Amino acid sequence: MEEVLKPDLCVIGAGSGGLSVAAAAAQFGVPVVLIEKGRMGGDRLNFGDVPSKALLAAGKRADAVRTASTFGIDVNEAQIDHRGVHDHVHGVIAAIAPNDSIERFTGLGVRVIQAKANFLDKNTVEAGRVLVHARRFVIATGSTPVIPSISGLDEVPYLTNETIFDVSERIQHLIVLGGGPFGLELGQAHSMLGSHVTIFDTEGFLPNEDPEATAVLLKRLEDTQIMLYPNTRVEKVERSMQGVAVHFHKDGETVIVKGTHLLVAAGRKPNVKSLSLERAGVTYTDEGIKVNEQLKTTNRRIYAIGDVIGGPQYSHLATYHAGIVVRNALFRLKPDVSAGTIPRVIYTAPELAQVGITEAEAHARYRRRRIRIYRWPYADIDRAQCERETEGFIKVITKRDGTILGCTIVGAQAGELLQLWVMAMAKDIKIGDLISLVLPYPTMSELSKRASYAYYQPNMTKGWMRSVIGLLRRLG
Ligand SMILES: Cc1cc2nc3c(=O)[nH]c(=O)nc-3n(C[C@H](O)[C@H](O)[C@H](O)COP(=O)(O)OP(=O)(O)OC[C@H]3O[C@@H](n4cnc5c(N)ncnc54)[C@H](O)[C@@H]3O)c2cc1C
């Protein structure tokens, strides 16, 4: 006998997007059903953001040991207990898991159903033995790894982001297919933990990021013996004595690289296929579910958010989508969906952080005389010298009147330093206004302030302005 539920809102998928919608709606007293087929917390908690950053944190500790002698501290070679690293990563997941748990959401008043959901018609979802007739639905089913069609790939064991965090032994040589943010982060984490790492990409690495910033990051990866093969198509994969052999062409010859483990990080595809969306009148393509500005699908009573709608894929974007849906579904507010101030960070060492448009995008969009580019190197920041983190720079792109169009930071703590620029852009604060901020000395955040000084440099011919800037610089 099937149970029939008639809530106001039914959310499918308990990842970053779905959990945020369900929690917010429940807190407004709305009856909500949340359906999850796998683990509560989705990719962010179980297979993505959290475990990858926890693994990188372990790698960075190992690296700190390796480079300690620069600070006059003599330590022996870092001894890595791979079972211990595995337990650290899963300990972090376990520490965060209660926030996303069935118990917590049930306590908030959400009815959680653990089953795979699919639509029966425009108003009904089936999940196990439960039928849900809701006034509105939110599809937040996320994405899964793309497995490229490479000869032999289906005959060798390979890892994805869904399995690599379960490995508890040393990976001797990790071959990564895909040099996007996740491939680079996971590749570098394993390299820092003592693996040989080779990364292939069919394109250049990080083609959408600022090339100067990318060059700083890639140089660090190469300096630490990570083998990078950009613009390289892997032709064939097969089993070898060590584990796996990857074949590709270079300068007209076939080259073979042998590794012990293979990680596929070659992009993500939206989870649309198993939902029977046709029955619900929801249009989708291989790129994701089609939505309008309010994130409504072609069935006006069904919203879709997060990775499943394609485009940029970040947890904070899925959460931002959730806010739009809650305001629209509950209060009929029509917020505009502006991706302009959605930041992104690659959490390698050094980090690469971006908000707004890059220099190349600015040149494509505006005439040269209408934009200004301001740069400042980490090497000129006293705190960066203390920490021996002098690689990298900030680059700020503005209109002539100082309106900030974008900011790129590559270097230590770039993701944290970006916050000031995200806020400045969101609140329409101009670059010149930042000069009056008093920031603590010595902090990395001086990098941002120095970039704002640069804004006044065209006026430096004026003697009085030169004196003011000189004074401000002396005052920090
Ligand atoms: C290795 C890696 C590292 C990442 N690092 C970062 C980072 O540092 N910062 C960042 O912002 N983003 C990061 N991301 C991206 C981020 O994880 C995603 O953008 C985010 O999780 C998307 O949230 P979502 O709610 O759309 O989907 P998900 O979190 O994927 O949640 C979707 C949920 O829906 C469930 N589901 C699917 N189909 C059904 C169904 N039919 N019925 C019921 N349930 C279903 C799934 O089981 C899943 O739990 C990373 C991703 C990866 C892979």
pLDDT in tens, 286-343: 999 999 999 999 999 999 999 999 999 999 999 999 999 999 998 888 766 566 689 9
Which atom of ligand 1 lies closest to the CA of 42?
A: 49
pLDDT value at 347 more than 90: yes
Distances (CA, A) of 34 to 1, 244, 305: 21, 41, 14
CB contact at 8 A, 173 and 202: no
Expressed in angstroms and rounded, the spacing between residue 338 Cα and the centre of ligand 1 is 21
pLDDT value at 116 more than 50: yes
Question: Where do we find the tokens 């995200």?
Answer: 422
Query: Does residue 88 line the site of ligand 1, with CB under 6 A?
Result: no
The string over 95-116, giving b where at least 16 C-beta atoms fall within 10 Å of a residue's C-beta and e elsewhere, is eebeebeeebbeebebbbbeeb
pLDDT value at 450 more than 60: yes
How confident is the model at residue 371, as a pLDDT?
96
Confidence of residue 245 (pLDDT cuts 50, 70, 90): very high
- Phi, psi at residue 47, to the nearest 5°? -130, 5
Query: Does residue 282 line the site of ligand 1, with CB under 6 A?
Result: no
Written as one letter, the residue type at 166 is D
Average pLDDT of the chain to the nearest whole number: 94
pLDDT value at 98 more than 50: yes
How confident is the model at residue 391, as a pLDDT?
98
Query: Does residue 191 line the site of ligand 1, with CB under 6 A?
Result: no
Query: Does residue 20 line the site of ligand 1, with CB under 6 A?
Result: no
Q: Whose CA is nearest to atom 15 of ligand 1?
A: 314
How confident is the model at residue 333, as a pLDDT?
85
Confidence of residue 251 (pLDDT cuts 50, 70, 90): confident
How confident is the model at residue 475, as a pLDDT?
57
Q: Whose CA is nearest to atom 31 of ligand 1?
A: 15
**4-44 residue pLDDT tens:** 999 999 999 999 999 999 999 999 999 999 999 999 999 99
How confident is the model at residue 378, as a pLDDT?
98
Expressed in angstroms and rounded, the spacing between residue 380 Cα and the centre of ligand 1 is 39
Higher pLDDT, 83 or 474: 83
Expressed in angstroms and rounded, the spacing between residue 143 Cα and the centre of ligand 1 is 6
How confident is the model at residue 459, as a pLDDT?
52
3-state secondary structure of 250: strand
Q: Positive or negative, the Cα torsion across 412, 413, 415, 418?
A: negative
Helices (H), strands (E): how many in the chain? 14, 25
Expressed in angstroms and rounded, the spacing between residue 45 Cα and the centre of ligand 1 is 8
Question: Where do we find the tokens 């480079």?
Answer: 67
Give 294-300 contacts, CB < 8 A, sequence gap 24+: 294/324, 294/325, 294/328, 294/334, 294/335, 294/337, 295/321, 295/324, 295/325, 295/328, 295/337, 296/328, 297/139, 299/122
For the beta carbon of residue 270, count every other beta carbon within 10 angstroms: 24
Q: What percent of the chain has pLDDT over 70?
A: 95
Please give the DSSP secondary-structure letter assigned to residue 165: G
Confidence of residue 216 (pLDDT cuts 50, 70, 90): very high
Q: Whose CA is nearest to atom 27 of ligand 1?
A: 142
Query: Does residue 141 line the site of ligand 1, with CB under 6 A?
Result: yes
CB contact at 8 A, 245 and 157: no
Mean pLDDT for the stretch of residues 352-376: 96
Expressed in angstroms and rounded, the spacing between residue 105 Cα and the centre of ligand 1 is 18
H or E element, residue 407: strand 404-411
pLDDT value at 1 more than 60: no
Distances (CA, A) of 256 to 12, 151, 153, 236, 359: 44, 14, 15, 9, 38
